[in-house]
Chain A
Amino acid sequence: MRLRNPGQTVTFTFDGKPVQGVPGEPVAAALLANGIRLMGRSFKYHRPRGVMTAGSEEPNALVTVGRGAAQDPNIRATVLEVSDGLEVFSQNAWPSLRHDALAVNDLLSPFLGAGFYYKTFMWPASFWEKLYEPVIRRAAGLGRLSGQASADCYEKAFAFCDLLVIGAGPAGLMAALTAGRAGVDVILADEDSAMGGRLLREVEDVDGRPAAAWVADVLAQLRALPNVRLMPRTTVTGAYDQGTYGALERVAAAGAPVECFWRIVAKRSVLCAGALERPIAFPDNDRPGIMLAGAVRAYVNRWGVAPGRSVTVFGNNDDAHRTARDLAAAGIKIAGLIDARPDVQVTADYPVFTGGSVTATAGRRGLSSITVAHQGGTRVIQTDCLAISGGWNPSVHLTCHMNGRPRWRDDIAAFVPTPDAIPGMAVAGACNGVFETAGCLREGAEVAAAIARDLGFTAEVTLPVAEARAYAIAPLWEIPGKGRKWVDFQNDVTTKDIALSAQENMRSVEHMKRYTTQGMAPDQGKSSNVLALAVLADLTGRGIPETGTTTFRPPFVPVGIAAMGAGGQGKGFAPTRLMTSHHATVAARAPMIEAGLWYRPSYFPLEGEVSWRQSCDREVGYARNAVGVCDVSTLGKIDVQGPDAAALLDFVYTNRMSTLKMGRVRYGLMLREDGFVMDDGTAARLGPDHFVITTTTAAAGQVMRHMEFASQVLRPDLDARVLSVTDHWAQFAVAGPRAQVLLNTVLDDQISNEDWPFMACGTVGIGGVTGRLFRISFSGETAFEIAVPARYGESLFRQLVAQARTLGGGPYGMEALNVLRIEKGLLTHAELHGRTTAFDLGLAGMVSAQKDCIGQAAASRPGLVDPARERLVGLRAVEEGRRLTAGAHLFAKDAKAVTANDQGYVTSACYSPTLDCYLGLAFLKNGPDRHGEVIRMVDHLRGVDTLAEVCHPVFFDPEGGRARG
């Protein structure tokens, strides 16, 4: 029922039925205004549930919004703002919210107590996955994901400030105003759509005006301050190290990202998060219509909605009376006020029961009556709404995010934050246990002023006049007597469950939580934690402080994965790196594959080719018989200069680079300090103190880091500078018997085999552009790598490819590159997988014993030089038509393919068009001693079981004559 003329309205639907709402109000308010109390079903027993709170802590009124890919489950109806055409659905009910088949669980509740599932469903074993678990999973859960990607946009952002004020209630507003006026750089964040907090919900005056008017005035002042940033609809969700906070903004603008996840860095912060009201455990205290008293006031005062026609109020503190006063002022009938405190003096024109308690309630789908026990006896009262107040729990959550433990205050029967639980965070107002407006305003102002002064500003405290009264509470947790009394409404945990937990010696608060699931639901026990541990404390005879709390952890409110993962969807997860030849390559219809962050061509298909193997075999032929061109720009290139450049390279490579002549290139091996191979590559000496080294594509970043580590941390005595030049140079391999011919079509000065012998390097001109030429080979052929500044890369690639075609060659991709290098027994990270040593690879001779280098000492550990290690060999298929496969394991010829007989594994395999057979590279126990042996190769997964001959890993041109050409 609406208490005032709503003016403009919008229409949304709830379970398909149209409902009128007022723009800006939450769905829960609109439903209540339309007399709809049943909003959801509980998790376990599928009990009918209505709204209980007026904030993000809501345990009951969780709904699903939208349909199709936009379907958004588990939305709090207390926060979701109504809008035209909004589609709202109840959840966790079938076939309908009113008639939910699984409500049968409620009848079975005697058998479904805490942890019942640990004691059964064990026989027969296979029934768990087949029967029990599917049934349990279907019954459990709340809302449903659509299973489709939503089209909604999300974003993340960073913000910085001197002072972050968390919460814009009386304390937060005064904190922001005081600091803002002092000139402090302030962010004020509040989760509500409108700032003001409790002042928007209560009937009271501040500075002689209605509180809401005072709020509007303060907000206007704050907006006028350029150093204050207001962030409404923004919930601070977590406190992290060094003043970093996470915050979730629900963006209001249409068409904009729906949510923004903020990373706010603040020198200081003030937590002004207020307090959350707690329920009282009495029988059947979960019926629709039973609400927290503060929520009832919020619906009445802020939204002009009466949550019932005949309201009862039950509490153990003065807020019960405040609630009755506001209801009466709004013209709502008060059927009774039950104050648990026996010694309270009240005169009112509605029935008042002091020293009373609610002992029963009735009404299946909505409250119809309550039974009250009071000093004069027992009375049944007809009522459709019961407002309860068990007192207030300060919102200490954020102060616990760094393992801070709140401390118990007996006088207010509540936990308050431990000072300095979060470095740089102060606490003010209700979340610090101050439950009256004047105190909140004062504390907010004073805390902010102190921070401002700390930060070097001059701050003044000017306080408005406001209501000040003591918070009088008599702790009341559980009403004695039979019946189920809900503690955790969301997870259907009752006092009986807690009692059973204690009975079974699950008496630590963590055990109780985990055994009963109390506090593990979406509200993370916001309304239930203190009540639950108070009940546990009573059962165990320990006090509440000794019982302690479980730990509040981030986030304060649930945060969508799409928000915190914004930007990650699709290609946004990681950068892409494109070669200069990318567009030309894609235009040639080459399928692109990932190589680290790069994209490289798999092969370049020609018209009529139907399989990748056809293309690959042809491209191998280019290099073996004519000339092939391949973009190798993805390899890391690191410039090393300085008086000690050679010494640094001697330290990071196993072999000596200081003896390398100018204009020459040398193959190099790098170890990790633990003695295993990290990467291989080449070092080219361009000048006495100038080298450029190459890395593999995969390890480029790691090697750069490693070089800086060696230079800055291990050998700061060496004067050398290390710089990545990977992106400056576009570099192309030109390989094959006609490589030189091809190069001479593009080079300004012709080269010959004499001027450019194998492993020579130097500067060349290409159309007037200065480039570099390296005579190195990853194919075993006469081959060069030619490098030009990247701006010319695409142009050079196109010309090289065009010229190659005229010479019977063309471009080749990763597949052909792989075949070419396997035929030559050259290594990639399939072999350099981090568990292999120079010894395993047959490269022990490259580890110079004459000098120190990274990894040398550890590489000499006995386990790393054991001849029985799995060591590199070649494999040649010996059975006609049977392939070799990478990932297969190796066994003696007649051995069973079981772990005990495992002799090694295949790392790389291919069909060699050059040799017309399947080849493999493998690591085999005692491998180099077994050349000529026929072994068994088994790939269970691919269904291959065949024989192979062990051989030297260089299959083709073992003398290397072709590369020297």
Chain B
Amino acid sequence: MARLIALGAFGDLLPLQVGDVTCTEVVRETLFSVAPYRGQQKAVSAGLKTQLGLTLPAVGRRRAAGDVICQWIGHDAWIVSAPVTLDGLAAVTDQSDGYATLEITGASVEAVLARLVPLDLRSATFKVNHTARSLLGHLPVSITRTGPQAFEVMVMRSMAASLVHDLQEAMTGVAARGSA
């Protein structure tokens, strides 16, 4: 009989602070991807409303109800942070351990991300609860603005160390400039 110990995705790499920017691990017990079958998007949205109190957000958006989030994650797919039952309506796949997620915050956070992400993440164009799939350096990521100076970055769990490496390099460069 085994006794399995759960470990975080980032090990002891986080938290990390350089200059005025800090990265901390975001832990969500469960994550499920939801990919509605053909013609079932409305039904899926209704199902989520009933079960989680959240409907499917638009492309490029996240919705939250309390701790539960529902976020667009790609072509015809969303991700929710609580178990859902959508039999026959959508492909629901357990991704609870598929991602490493961190939050990056601080006054220079946009400058740090501008070193790595080929998106206009300035607050005028990329607002709170806007989410995008893109690259961070060479890593495929999902990036969401969670506050005026805060973003959440999700990366494939196996790439967690690379994510921290790339962010740390950018954070160090930005901090050394004094102000960006």
The CA-CA distance from A284 to B30 in the complex, in Å, is 78
Interface-side segment among B4-12, B56-64, B101-109, B142-150: B4-12
The CA-CA distance from A398 to B119 in the complex, in Å, is 24
Determine if B94 and A728 form an interchain contact, defined as CB atoms under 8 angstroms apart. yes
The CA-CA distance from A579 to B161 in the complex, in Å, is 11
Q: Which residues of A contact B158 (CB under 8 A)?
A: 577-579, 598, 633, 726-727
Determine if B4 and A788 form an interchain contact, defined as CB atoms under 8 angstroms apart. yes
Partner of A567, one of B8, B75, B124, B166: B166
Instruction: State whether the Cβ of A149 lies closer than 8 Å to any Cβ in chain B.
Output: no
Determine if B114 and A157 form an interchain contact, defined as CB atoms under 8 angstroms apart. yes
Interface-side segment among A69-77, A585-593, A776-784, A791-799: A791-799
Residue interface bits A551-581, CB-to-B below 8 A is 1, else 0:
0000000000000000100011011111110
Partner of B176, one of A257, A263, A795: A257
Chain B residue, CB-CB nearest to A156: B115
Determine if B177 and A728 form an interchain contact, defined as CB atoms under 8 angstroms apart. no
Determine if A265 and B77 form an interchain contact, defined as CB atoms under 8 angstroms apart. no
Determine if B165 and A255 form an interchain contact, defined as CB atoms under 8 angstroms apart. no
Instruction: State whether the Cβ of A251 lies closer than 8 Å to any Cβ in chain B.
Output: yes
Chain A residue, CB-CB nearest to B40: A719
Residue interface bits A689-731, CB-to-B below 8 A is 1, else 0:
0000000000000000000000010000001010111111110
Partner of A789, one of B8, B93, B96: B96
The CA-CA distance from A612 to B116 in the complex, in Å, is 40
Interface residues in A641-655 (C-beta closer than 8 Å to B) = 641-643
What range describes how many residues of B lie at the interface?
A: 35 or more
The CA-CA distance from A461 to B165 in the complex, in Å, is 48
Determine if B11 and A583 form an interchain contact, defined as CB atoms under 8 angstroms apart. yes
Q: Which residues of B contact A792 (CB under 8 A)?
A: 4-7
Q: Which residues of A contact B94 (CB under 8 A)?
A: 725, 728, 789
Interface residues in A773-814 (C-beta closer than 8 Å to B) = 788-796, 799
Q: Which residues of A contact B33 (CB under 8 A)?
A: 723
Instruction: State whether the Cβ of A769 lies closer than 8 Å to any Cβ in chain B.
Output: yes
Q: Which residues of B contact A747 (CB under 8 A)?
A: 2
Instruction: Tell whether A255 pairs with B120 under 8 Å between CB atoms, given A642-B37, A728-B97.
Output: no
In the assembled complex, the CB of B40 is this many whole angstroms from the nearest CB of chain A, namely 9
Instruction: State whether the Cβ of A348 lies closer than 8 Å to any Cβ in chain B.
Output: no
Partner of A746, one of B2, B6, B38, B161: B2
Residue interface bits B83-101, CB-to-A below 8 A is 1, else 0:
0000000111111111100
Instruction: State whether the Cβ of B156 lies closer than 8 Å to any Cβ in chain A.
Output: yes
Instruction: State whether the Cβ of A158 lies closer than 8 Å to any Cβ in chain B.
Output: yes
In the assembled complex, the CB of A472 is this many whole angstroms from the nearest CB of chain B, namely 46
Q: Which residues of A contact B170 (CB under 8 A)?
A: 155
Instruction: State whether the Cβ of A256 lies closer than 8 Å to any Cβ in chain B.
Output: yes
The CA-CA distance from A257 to B139 in the complex, in Å, is 22
Instruction: State whether the Cβ of A159 lies closer than 8 Å to any Cβ in chain B.
Output: yes
The CA-CA distance from A271 to B11 in the complex, in Å, is 49
Determine if B178 and A253 form an interchain contact, defined as CB atoms under 8 angstroms apart. yes
Q: Which secondary structure dominates chain A's binding surface?
A: mixed
Instruction: State whether the Cβ of B52 lies closer than 8 Å to any Cβ in chain A.
Output: no
Determine if B91 and A639 form an interchain contact, defined as CB atoms under 8 angstroms apart. yes
Determine if B93 and A723 form an interchain contact, defined as CB atoms under 8 angstroms apart. yes
In the assembled complex, the CB of A792 is this many whole angstroms from the nearest CB of chain B, namely 4
Instruction: Tell whether A727 pairs with B157 under 8 Å between CB atoms, given A253-B176, A257-B176.
Output: yes
Partner of B4, one of A633, A641, A729, A796: A796
Determine if B97 and A790 form an interchain contact, defined as CB atoms under 8 angstroms apart. yes
In the assembled complex, the CB of B17 is this many whole angstroms from the nearest CB of chain A, namely 18
The CA-CA distance from A265 to B172 in the complex, in Å, is 24
In the assembled complex, the CB of B124 is this many whole angstroms from the nearest CB of chain A, namely 8
Chain A residue, CB-CB nearest to B76: A721
Instruction: State whether the Cβ of B117 lies closer than 8 Å to any Cβ in chain A.
Output: yes
The CA-CA distance from A847 to B117 in the complex, in Å, is 44
Determine if B93 and A725 form an interchain contact, defined as CB atoms under 8 angstroms apart. yes
Chain A residue, CB-CB nearest to B74: A723
Partner of B118, one of A153, A257, A263, A639: A263
In the assembled complex, the CB of B42 is this many whole angstroms from the nearest CB of chain A, namely 16
In the assembled complex, the CB of B100 is this many whole angstroms from the nearest CB of chain A, namely 8
Q: Which residues of B contact A712 (CB under 8 A)?
A: 75
Chain A interfacial residues counted at CB < 8 A: 61
Instruction: State whether the Cβ of B173 lies closer than 8 Å to any Cβ in chain A.
Output: yes
* Residue picked from B33, B77, B125, most chain A C-beta under 10 Å: B33
Instruction: State whether the Cβ of B65 lies closer than 8 Å to any Cβ in chain A.
Output: no
The CA-CA distance from A587 to B4 in the complex, in Å, is 19
The CA-CA distance from A591 to B162 in the complex, in Å, is 20
The CA-CA distance from A297 to B160 in the complex, in Å, is 56
The CA-CA distance from A583 to B37 in the complex, in Å, is 40
Instruction: State whether the Cβ of B35 lies closer than 8 Å to any Cβ in chain A.
Output: yes
Q: Which residues of B contact A265 (CB under 8 A)?
A: 120
In the assembled complex, the CB of B132 is this many whole angstroms from the nearest CB of chain A, namely 13
Chain A residue, CB-CB nearest to B38: A719
In the assembled complex, the CB of A172 is this many whole angstroms from the nearest CB of chain B, namely 23
In the assembled complex, the CB of B72 is this many whole angstroms from the nearest CB of chain A, namely 14
In the assembled complex, the CB of A580 is this many whole angstroms from the nearest CB of chain B, namely 8
Instruction: State whether the Cβ of A748 lies closer than 8 Å to any Cβ in chain B.
Output: yes
The CA-CA distance from A253 to B179 in the complex, in Å, is 10
Instruction: State whether the Cβ of B159 lies closer than 8 Å to any Cβ in chain A.
Output: yes
Instruction: State whether the Cβ of B47 lies closer than 8 Å to any Cβ in chain A.
Output: no
Interface residues in A614-655 (C-beta closer than 8 Å to B) = 633, 639, 641-643
In the assembled complex, the CB of B145 is this many whole angstroms from the nearest CB of chain A, namely 15
In the assembled complex, the CB of A638 is this many whole angstroms from the nearest CB of chain B, namely 10
Interface residues in B1-58 (C-beta closer than 8 Å to A) = 1-9, 11, 33, 35, 37-38
Partner of B173, one of A257, A598, A642: A257
Determine if B7 and A794 form an interchain contact, defined as CB atoms under 8 angstroms apart. yes
Instruction: State whether the Cβ of A767 lies closer than 8 Å to any Cβ in chain B.
Output: yes
Determine if B37 and A721 form an interchain contact, defined as CB atoms under 8 angstroms apart. yes
Instruction: State whether the Cβ of A214 lies closer than 8 Å to any Cβ in chain B.
Output: no
The CA-CA distance from A577 to B157 in the complex, in Å, is 8
Q: Which residues of B contact A253 (CB under 8 A)?
A: 176-178
Q: Which residues of B contact A726 (CB under 8 A)?
A: 98, 156, 158
Q: Which residues of B contact A838 (CB under 8 A)?
A: none
Partner of A578, one of B114, B161, B172, B176: B161
The CA-CA distance from A641 to B166 in the complex, in Å, is 35
In the assembled complex, the CB of A653 is this many whole angstroms from the nearest CB of chain B, namely 19
Instruction: Tell whether A158 pairs with B118 under 8 Å between CB atoms, given A583-B11, A642-B37, A723-B93.
Output: yes
29 A-B contacts, Cβ less than 8 Å apart?
Answer: A153-B173, A157-B111, A158-B114, A159-B114, A160-B125, A251-B177, A255-B176, A256-B176, A256-B178, A257-B173, A265-B120, A567-B137, A572-B169, A577-B159, A639-B91, A643-B37, A712-B75, A719-B37, A721-B37, A721-B76, A726-B158, A728-B94, A728-B157, A748-B1, A767-B1, A767-B3, A790-B97, A790-B157, A794-B5
Write the residues of chain B forming the contact surface with A, with a CB cutoff of 8 angstroms.
1-9, 11, 33, 35, 37-38, 75-77, 90-99, 111, 114-115, 117-120, 122, 124-125, 137-139, 156-162, 165-166, 169-170, 172-173, 176-178
Write the residues of chain A forming the contact surface with B, with a CB cutoff of 8 angstroms.
153, 155-160, 185, 251, 253, 255-257, 263, 265, 567, 571-572, 574-580, 583, 598, 633, 639, 641-643, 712, 719, 721, 723-730, 745-748, 766-769, 788-796, 799
User: Which 3 interchain pairs have the tightest Cβ spacing?
Assistant: A641-B91, A721-B91, A160-B120
A577-B156, A728-B94, A799-B2 are known contacts; what are 17 more A-B pairs with Cβ within 8 Å?
A160-B120, A257-B177, A263-B118, A567-B137, A572-B137, A575-B137, A641-B92, A641-B93, A642-B91, A721-B76, A725-B95, A727-B157, A727-B158, A746-B2, A789-B97, A790-B157, A794-B7
